[in-house]
Amino acid sequence: MNRVFVRSLWALALSPCLAATAAAQAREVYRCPGNPVLYTDTLSAKEARDKGCRTLEGAPITVVQAVRPRPASGPVPTVARPADQRVDPNEQRARDNDARRILEGELRREEERLAAMQREFNNGEPERQGVEAKNPQRYIDRVAEMRAGIQRKEGDIAAIKRELSKLPQ
């Protein structure tokens, strides 16, 4: 008698799950003509028949929810630092001067390297090296590398100048 009672409790506990499964299986999925990739389960049997849709047997129903885009936010508000966390104006001026000095030194070094690269490049006709006399492709490749190196160096110099222009005078 105890086993019968336990089985009936299990049957009662599982009955909602079984009902939900039966309801899900009763829902038909249709593939309609003119829509080879899209399947639908929103049609009634009569609507599907009228449109010439075919029933797909054993097709699982998958619902994919779209991600809602976040609302566009305006500019980020800047929050002023509390008075006890603010940098002393003299200390900030000293930091800016140090940054300017470092960038100016770096700019001088990069301009000197660029001048040396341009001298070696010799307006697109650098001196040929020993192996390049026998293999002209190596010479062409070296000239192309030199040209690209000069362009990179000019870009680096322009970036340093932009950084310098951002610093207060």
Q: Where are the domains of the chain?
A: 23-62, 87-166
Collect the ranges in the chain with pLDDT lower than 50. 6, 18-25
The span from the CA of 59 to the CA of 28, in Å, is: 8
In this prediction, residue 8 carries a pLDDT of 55
What's the pLDDT score for residue 22? Answer: 46
Question: What is the pLDDT at residue 28?
Answer: 74
CA distance 139 to 151: 18
pTM of the model: 0.49
pLDDT for residue 11: 55
Amino acid, res. 131: V
Token digits of residue 4: 């019968």
The pLDDT of residue 59 is 60
